Amino acid sequence: MSVVLSSEEFNAKVLNGTGKVLIDFFATWCGPCRMIAPFIEEIAEEKAGEVEVYKIDIDQSPDIARQFGIRGVPTLMVFEDGKPVSQMVGAQPKAQILQMLG
């Protein structure tokens, strides 16, 4: 299951963390965000132990959204060892999200 992170948790678990992390930048009012939410949950379960999956609510953590230039939601970003390595904007099929993870 994916977890919504606060700004402090994001710094600790993503920027200062190790390994691969998928971040779903979303908003509660965003229809496409709700559309891909089941995919994100399935990926979190299927990739448990390989990839950490977290969510950032851009309305609750606008500082993180600004830091990474998030202008539209949903935006998915993959981090490896605290550094962003890929980004995808808009609702995407599960297969494409998995492909982004490698």
Per-residue pLDDT for 26 more than 80? yes
Domains of the chain: 3-101 (3.40.30.10)
The one catalytic residue among 5, 22, 23, 30: 30
Per-residue pLDDT for 96 more than 90? yes
Q: What is the pLDDT of residues 50-91, one digit of tens each?
A: 999 999 999 999 999 999 999 999 999 999 999 999 999 999
The one catalytic residue among 14, 27, 33, 65: 33
**Mean local confidence (pLDDT), 31-59:** 96
Per-residue pLDDT for 102 more than 90? no
Query: Rounded to whole angstroms, what are the CA distances from 69 to 58, 63, 73, 74?
Result: 11, 10, 11, 13
Summary mean pLDDT of the chain: 95
Q: Residue 1: what pLDDT?
A: 74
Bridge partners, residue 75, by sequence: 25, 89
